[in-house]
C-alpha cells in the first residue's frame, strides 16, 4: 500500500511551510509566482492529489448532492435520475442516490445518512406513504437546500418541480371529446394520491368545459395500481362507454386486452388513452395514445434549481411545472 502524497510531504521536501504549499496549490493570489511554480512542479512530479475529504471537512462543502427516490427501477424515476446525473457531472457535483422502496422508515434513514455525509443539497421524491415532513425539515434546519420533485408534499416549504398532470389529463380527455366521444369513462388511481386527484380533475374539467355531464358510474378508482385494474375494467365496460381514460399505461393496456377479449374493437368501438408514455405504449397492439411526462427534464431542472440555491444561497421556494405532451397513437384514432 502506497501512502498518498500530502501537502506535508511537499512542504518538507521544499523546506517551506504547509500554508505556503496550500496557497500555491489553490492558486491564491498572495503568493510569490516562483514559489508557486516550484510547488506545482513538485506536486506534478509526485502526482499529488488533494484529499477531497480533508477539504470537505474544513470547507464544510462537499459538492455532494443527495437524491432519494421511491425506487430507481421505474421508467419515470430512472429518466429523472439520468437527467440529474448528467447535469451534476457537468457542474462538478457528485450524486449520492438512495431508494426508499416506498418505505417511510427507509426514506428517513436515507435522508439522515445523506445529511450525515454533509450533502450540500437534497433532491427528494417521497414515498407513497410519506405524510410527515419532519425529517426533511431536519435537513432544512441544517441549512441544506431541499428541492422536491414529482412526489411532493405540501407540508414542506421548498422549491418543487412537478409535471402538470392536470393539464395532461385535460388534454387527453379533450382529445377524446374531439374525436366525438360522449361517454368517456375514467379508471383512476388510489383515491387520495395527489396524482390520482389531479388527473381526475383534469378529466372532470374537460368534460365540464365541453358540456358533457360527468357520470359517477363511469368513474372507478383502483385501490392500488397493480391489483384492482382488471376488476375496475370489468365494471367500467358494463357501462358501455365509448372511451376510457386510464390512470396509467399499464391499466390502459389491460383495458385494451380485456375489451378485445369481450369482442370490442379498439379504437373502433372504444377509444383508450393511458398516461406516462411508457416504452411499452409504443409497441402494444394497437399502439396506445398516452400522455408523455418529461422525466429527464424534470430531473435536470430539479438539479439545476437546487444547484442555484446551493450556490446563490437564495431560496425562493418556487413551484416549477413542466408541461406534458399528448402522444397520439392508434388506440384513439
Partner DNA sequence: CTGAAAGCGCTTACAG
47 binds, among its own copies, DNA, none (CB under 5 to 8 A by kind): its own copies
Are the beta carbons of 238 and 231 closer than 8 angstroms?
A: no
Q: Which residues bind DNA (CB under 7 A)?
A: 3-4, 6-8, 16-20, 22-23, 25-26, 30-36, 49-51, 54-55, 57-60
Is 99 among the residues that bind its own copies (CB under 8 A)?
Answer: yes
Q: Is the peptide bond before 286 cis (omega within 30 degrees of 0)?
A: yes
What is the nearest approach in angstroms of DNA to the Cβ of residue 53? 7
Instruction: Decide: helix, strand or coil at residue 324.
Output: coil
Whether residue 130 contacts residue 265, with contact meaning beta carbons closer than 8 Å, is answered with no
Nearer to its own copies, 115 or 204 (CB): 115
Could you tell me if 170 and 200 are in contact, meaning their C-beta atoms sit under 8 angstroms apart?
A: no
**E-assigned strand segments in the chain:** 64-69, 94-99, 121-124, 146-149, 159-163, 184-188, 219-221, 243-246, 271-273, 290-292, 319-322, 325-327
Binding partner at 238 among DNA, its own copies, none, C-beta below 5 to 8 Å by kind: none
Sign of CA dihedral 265, 270, 271, 274: negative
Sketch the per residue contact string, 125 through 164, with its own copies: x for CB under 8 A, - otherwise. Answer: -------------x--xxx---------------------
Instruction: Measure CA of the first residue to CA of the last residue in the chain; give whole Å.
Output: 67
Handedness of CA 94, 100, 105, 107 (dihedral sign): positive
Residue 141 interaction partner, one of its own copies, DNA, none, beta carbon < 5-8 Å per kind: its own copies
Rounded CA-CA distance 312/199 in Å is: 35
Interface with its own copies, residue 89, by CB under 8 A: yes
Toward its own copies, which CB reaches closer, 296 or 320? 296
Question: Which residue in 6, 22, 82, 201 binds its own copies (CB under 8 A)?
Answer: 82
Total number of residues binding its own copies (CB under 8 A)?
57
For its own copies, the binding residues (CB under 8 A) are: 1-2, 4, 47, 49-54, 56-57, 62, 64, 71-75, 78-79, 81-82, 85-86, 89, 94-99, 101, 106, 109-110, 112-113, 115-118, 138, 141-143, 250, 253-254, 257, 278-280, 283-285, 296
Amino acid at each position: 500500500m502506497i501512502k498518498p502524497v500530502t501537502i506535508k510531504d511537499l512542504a518538507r521536501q521544499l523546506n517551506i511551510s504547509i500554508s505556503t504549499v496550500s496557497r500555491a496549490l489553490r492558486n491564491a493570489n498572495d503568493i510569490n509566482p516562483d514559489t508557486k511554480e516550484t510547488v506545482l512542479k513538485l506536486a506534478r512530479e509526485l502526482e499529488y492529489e488533494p484529499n477531497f475529504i480533508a477539504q470537505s471537512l474544513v470547507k464544510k462543502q462537499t459538492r455532494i448532492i443527495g437524491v432519494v427516490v421511491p425506487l430507481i427501477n421505474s421508467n419515470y424515476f430512472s429518466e429523472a435520475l439520468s437527467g440529474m446525473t448528467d447535469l451534476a457531472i457537468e457542474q462538478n457535483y457528485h450524486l449520492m442516490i438512495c431508494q426508499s422502496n416506498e418505505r417511510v422508515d427507509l426514506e428517513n434513514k436515507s435522508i439522515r445518512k445523506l445529511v450525515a455525509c454533509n450533502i450540500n443539497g437534497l433532491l427528494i421524491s417521497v414515498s407513497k406513504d410519506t405524510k410527515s415532513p419532519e425529517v426533511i425539515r431536519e435537513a432544512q434546519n441544517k441549512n441544506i437546500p431541499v428541492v422536491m420533485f414529482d412526489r411532493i408534499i405540501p407540508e414542506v416549504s421548498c422549491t418543487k418541480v412537478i409535471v402538470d398532470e392536470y393539464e395532461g389529463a385535460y388534454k387527453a380527455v379533450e382529445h377524446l371529446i374531439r374525436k366525438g366521444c360522449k361517454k368517456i369513462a375514467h379508471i383512476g388511481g388510489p383515491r387520495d394520491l395527489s396524482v390520482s386527484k389531479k388527473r381526475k380533475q383534469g378529466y372532470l374539467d374537460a368534460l365540464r368545459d365541453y358540456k358533457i355531464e360527468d357520470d359517477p358510474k363511469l368513474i372507478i378508482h383502483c385501490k392500488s395500481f397493480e391489483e384492482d385494474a382488471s376488476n375496475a375494467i370489468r365494471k367500467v365496460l358494463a357501462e358501455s362507454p365509448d372511451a376510457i381514460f386510464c390512470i396509467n399505461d399499464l391499466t390502459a393496456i389491460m383495458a385494451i386486452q380485456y375489451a378485445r377479449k369481450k369482442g370490442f374493437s379498439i379504437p373502433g368501438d372504444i377509444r383508450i388513452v393511458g398516461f406516462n408514455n411508457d416504452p411499452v405504449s409504443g409497441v402494444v397492439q394497437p399502439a396506445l395514445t398516452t400522455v408523455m411526462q418529461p422525466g429527464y427534464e424534470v430531473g435536470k431542472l430539479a438539479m439545476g434549481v437546487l444547484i442555484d440555491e446551493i450556490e446563490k444561497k437564495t431560496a425562493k421556494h418556487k413551484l416549477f411545472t413542466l408541461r406534458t405532451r399528448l402522444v397520439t397513437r392508434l388506440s384513439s384514432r
